[in-house]
Amino acid sequence: MSLEIHPLLAQRRSPRAIDPNRPVPREVTHRLLEAARWAPSSGNSQPWRFVVIDAPEALARAREALHPGNQRWANRAPLLLLICANPQEDGDINGQPLYLFDCGLAAENLLLQGTAEGLVVHPMAGWDEVAMRAAMNVPEPYRIVVVIAVGYPGRLEDLPEDLQKRETAPRARKPLVELTHYNGW
């Protein structure tokens, strides 16, 4: 059984079929960043910093830092976004790094805004942080928390066959009963 949720949440996916020939206009990029900027954060610290990568030479440098599995599809994205934060400016509670959670909230706002805009907005964990930091001149001690590929939907047949199957597979989530414990574990 699945309960009804807001349609925007139900619609959000992380597809890989991106149109490489349709750039994302700056005003659309600004709306994505504005949505991220309005995310909640611990103590209103707003630790996120954004790197917008949409110029051909910068995209080429950033794409080199992606892991090969992501290069197979993300190299088609006309826009890559980095969400970065400085761990040294983090409000730390009981040894838990809050900046990661805060940047995750900002990323989700960005993903939902992108979904509302009709974009493919796909966060990735597969990149070489040292190479990406060098490619984008991210200063120490900032960390790259997530890389997000952004573009307009592309043709499924432009993806490798194994990725086409993943794109068309039913969206699956574990049952809530497996994930939830009431009043203790």
Tell me the domains of the chain and their CATH numbers.
12-179 (3.40.109.10)
The pTM (predicted TM-score) of the whole model is 0.94
pLDDT tens per residue across span 4-54: 899 999 889 999 999 999 999 999 999 999 999 999 999 899 999 999 999
| Closest listed residue to residue 45, CA positions, set 57, 37, 55, 33 | 37
Order of all β-strands in the sheet with 143-151 = 49-53, 79-85, 143-151, 120-124
Asked whether residue 1 carries a pLDDT value surpassing 60, the answer given is no
**Whether the predicted pLDDT of 110 surpasses 90:** yes
CA distance 10 to 178: 20
In degrees, rounded to 5, the angle at the alpha carbon of residue 22 between the alpha carbons of residues 19 and 27 is 125
- Distance, in Å, from the CA atom of 77 to the CA atom of 79, rounded to the nearest integer, reads 5
